[in-house]
Chains A and B, each alone.
Chain A
Amino acid sequence: MGLRMTTPWRALNDASIGSLPAQLGVYEIADHDQTIVKIGFAGGNEPFGIRTALERELESGGVFFRHEFTHGYLTRWQELLMVYRADHGILPFDNRQDAGSLGRLSPGAA
């Protein structure tokens, strides 16, 4: 697992989501240009793990998603947010409310 998520983008639709196993993990949502608009996680309270979390994202207007399965979803989610902020100077649009509890990372170039 690298610092940045590198799994391939997939179309955010019912068919793609339905093919996923019901596991815990983290995901990124992107727009038409594959610009990341949200970094999220599927935690232990989701009835069907990442499937349930991504089903909610269908209403968000996102076009693509990519994901990683991990039981360390909270720390991996924070790591992805910190790396994104280190790379871009700001958080993804839909994560602006998550800035308060976030640390600072200087991970070096991608």
Chain B
Amino acid sequence: MDLTLSDEQQLIVETVRRFVRDEIVPLEADLDPDAGALHPDDHDRLVDKTRKMGFFGLDIPAEFGGPGIDVTTRALMAIEMSQHRAGLYNPCYGTFGGAGLAQLYEATEEQKEQYLYPALRGVKKGCFALTEPSGGSDPARAIQTRGHQDGDEWVLNGAKLYISNADKADFALVFARTSEDPGRNGVTAFIVDTDTPGFHVRRVVHTLRSTHYATELQFEDMRVPAGNVLGEVNHGFAIANDRLSRQRIPYAAGCLGAAIKAQQMAIDWAKSRSTFGSLLAEKQMIQAMIVDNEIDIRHARYTILDAAQKADRGERFRTEAAMAKLVASEASSRVVDRAIQIHGGVGVTKDLPLERWYRELRIRRIGEGPSEVQRLIIGRELLGISAF
């Protein structure tokens, strides 16, 4: 695996690094330590900059007007974009734009006109409603939301849990069981306008991520036009699998960015803080933690770039993406934990970003498929036996 960056990649990395250092970090000094958004004026000003830089809408495929950045370069950018306090879940506060829901790229042209293109223009917001109170890691079997056809409409009843942004979304991608098949082949994806009668956001679900809540949804005789079925009836899980695997790579890279920043902070602290007559950096136990951090960081970096390069070469990369997500989320959690330990008391205060990364990285080991599911994917590839 060649880890050398091309001249273009090097230039992009340095540009993003400067953007974070000069534009994002100074603004954070005046925000609440748990803030999840910039002042709208600052946000709009920075979006203008990323547009001029040609980086807006990073994850939008080129055929839909995105900048057409390859997966490796996208991962390198994600590593830089997360190196600030809010960077794990709000890299650069969204000033590089979003991609919409990946599944919508597989929609019919009419559905794209109604949902995808407005989402890409920032006119509409969508949310992804898959997980239910009965479970999230095995959604194909856990889904109990039911849909039955009634003429030109489907009628949906059920509940969803831990759904982000449902209270602010204009439409939701809702998965419901539409046949007696108890597994993957009985589930259909629906695009549902959130002002549809019977669509209820029942409550806020508070989490470790104190800047952002999830929600619980309830569907009561919610009628959805048959034209809003996304993909084929009973094959809702077959949509956009490749795009979803691809998303795991920048997700992993975001974890790594926070770890790299935490390691820099730990080294700076260790070289400036004295205890018992010498610098922390001169203590063997501190050096051991910093070395272990570096091993974790490099391990994560290799797995991320390995997955990204395979994706760019057009090779199968699902296993590598799973490994990147698994390694980066777990290794970065260890790095930030050690960085807090090196800092001592100040490490757990809101004066530094470490405590926020510590909390948010705990969620990253569950979001986008928990570590155990990633291990099942990798094990299936190695052994040829599914242990799901």
Contact = CB atoms under 8 A, between A and B. Distances in A.
Interface string A53-70: 000000000000000000
Interface in B107-157: none
Nearest to B167: A103
A45 B33 contact: yes
Given A45-B33, A101-B37, A103-B167, A73 B210 contact: yes
B202 A108 contact: yes
A105 B167 CA distance: 6
A103 B203 contact: no
A103 B32 contact: no
A79 B34 CA distance: 16
A72 B202 contact: no
A18 interface: no
B168 A74 contact: no
A39 to B, nearest CB: 14
A23 interface: no
Given A74-B210, A75-B212, A79-B213, A105 B32 contact: no
Main secondary structure of the interface of B (DSSP, over half): loop
B206 A45 contact: no
Contacts of B37: 101
A25 B121 CA distance: 37
Interface residues on A, range: 20 to 34
Contacts of A82: 167, 204
Contact of A104 (B36, B40, B167): B167
A106 B212 contact: no
Q: Considering residues A71, A103, A106, which has the most beta carbons from chain B within 10 angstroms of its beta carbon?
A: A103
Contacts of B204: 75, 78-79, 82, 105
Nearest to B201: A105
Nearest to B168: A103
B210 A104 contact: no
Interface of B: 32-37, 40, 165-168, 194, 200-204, 206-207, 210-213, 215, 350
6 contacts: A74-B36, A75-B212, A79-B204, A101-B37, A103-B167, A106-B200
| Nearest 4 interchain pairs by C-beta | A103-B167, A44-B350, A44-B33, A43-B32
